[in-house]
Amino acid sequence: MHPHLLGRVDYLPTYQAMQTFTAKRGAHTADELWLCEHPPVFTQGLAGQASHLLAPGAIAVVQTNRGGQVTYHGPGQVVAYPLINLQRAGYYVKEYVFRIEEAVLRTLAHVGVTGHRVAGSPGIYVRLSDPFSHAALSGPQPADDPFRGLGKIAALGIKVSRHCTLHGVALNVAMDLEPYQRINPCGHAGLQSIDLSTIGVHIPWDEAAQVLGNKLSTFLAP
């Protein structure tokens, strides 16, 4: 599964293309991995609550068939769409999510950043006070504020149709983060979204996309 770098493409045609690819694929269709960035857009999950969209302004809102709540895509973000036949790959959805997160963790490690999982909240987070510390999060996060001291650097939203995956993961590289203040990211009020450039890591989009694509190819292999 070789990563296809699509560059900057509009969200809606890309969403439609992955639906068409998935609808037409057969048992022997090769898996694909698309990497791109999108012009500013908010995307809403199937069960997404309108109340989490606080003030979209001029940024378009697109309803999608993925899981999860509202998220933001914009320039300076690497969006990865693995289109995989899970039945053929030989693992289930929970394992699939774990493998995607592992690929993001290894991508961050490539630039010296330690990412973290938060139980029950798919995606990857960094410790805002010290994103380069290798220490694990000490014990479970407080129940009243599971994101205390953390910033979300990668959001994950997927859909599985006839054992085949759609949508994927978005890694924040060097963005204008203001639009995140117009939503409750992934349905969590006050959750801070962060990118690599804000924590002092400057990596070209192409390089970040290449690293993430290679890690995903490795970790999603059967």
Residues labelled as active-site residues: 186
**Alpha-carbon dihedral angle through residues 139, 191, 145, 104, given to the nearest 10 degrees:** -20
Helix ranges (DSSP H) in 10-92: 11-24, 86-89
Residue 83: partners with Cβ closer than 8 Å, 6 or more residues away: 18, 21, 22, 25, 31, 32, 33, 34, 164, 165, 166
Nearest to 220 by CA among 90, 123, 124: 90
Helix ranges (DSSP H) in 32-158: 86-89, 93-110
